[in-house]
A = this chain, B = another copy of it.
Amino acid sequence: MSQHRHPGAPGRAGAVPALPDLPEATVARLPEYLRALHNLADTGHETVSSEELSAAAGVNSAKLRKDLSHLGSYGTRGVGYDVALLIEQIENVLGLTQRRAVALVGVGNLGHALAGYDGFAGRGFRIAALLDADPSRVGEEINGLVVRHVDELATVAAEESLAIGVIATPAAAAQQVADQLVAVGVTSILNFAPCVLSVPEGVDVRKVDLAIELQILSFHEHRKASLTALPATGGSALTALPGGFAATDTQEAIGT
């Protein structure tokens, strides 16, 4: 594959960091590997095999090796991967070498929790501002940050280099907030509101919806219930089970 440098690529010899053009599925798993690697580093491991790391990350070992191979060859045959080196490489690819500023809009129920979430700092992010449209919430201090009015977004963007916005407003307000975020130059949005956002080209949106996750689980519950109800046509008893999905963040039956 495009191991070294693209044949068709213009001059720009080994300039920057080689942009490996990873498959989306791989990108989605890298953070998981990263977390597992940090755990290993904290417990004193210096190297790790693909078998161990894949177990810690909850994936197939072949998948892990293929994923990592897209970053380059950072393993040593017969030995495994150097934990510290791999952490560095993954953080580099994910762009976590700089601590990115995040604007959080909507300081309601969920917004409060997110503002207090300490997983930000530990994972390469920093809440640059808390914003809300409700004047009665403006001025409130949460976790050392003062809530500002959402109309001050432009000011915030001028102070900081804002690239990521988190929307934790009610669905009715989400589109307008998204528009405001885009207007001040935000190009990545994490949307917790249960609605679809329209954004211009070049802006990425990821969605997290609690109800959707529960409904997906509900489907599987429903199916499991139906299956155990009927006596399994084949032969062997109820050892026959739902059967696999390869869905993104669904894990089933890991371990014994």
Contact = CB atoms under 8 A, between A and B. Distances in A.
Interface of A: 1-5, 9-13, 15-17, 19, 22, 24-25, 27-28, 30-32, 34-36, 56-58, 93-96, 100, 102, 109-110, 112-114, 116-117, 119-120, 122-125, 163-164, 187-190, 194-227, 229-230, 233-234, 241-256
What is the oligomeric copy number?
Answer: 2
Nearest to A249: B207
B35 A230 contact: no
Interface pairs A-B: 7 shortest CB-CB:
A95-B222, A198-B255, A113-B113, A58-B196, A3-B244, A201-B253, A188-B217
Contacts of A204: 217, 220-221, 242, 250, 252
Contacts of A211: 31, 35, 119-120, 122-123, 125
B243 A196 contact: no
A219 to B, nearest CB: 5
B254 A19 contact: no
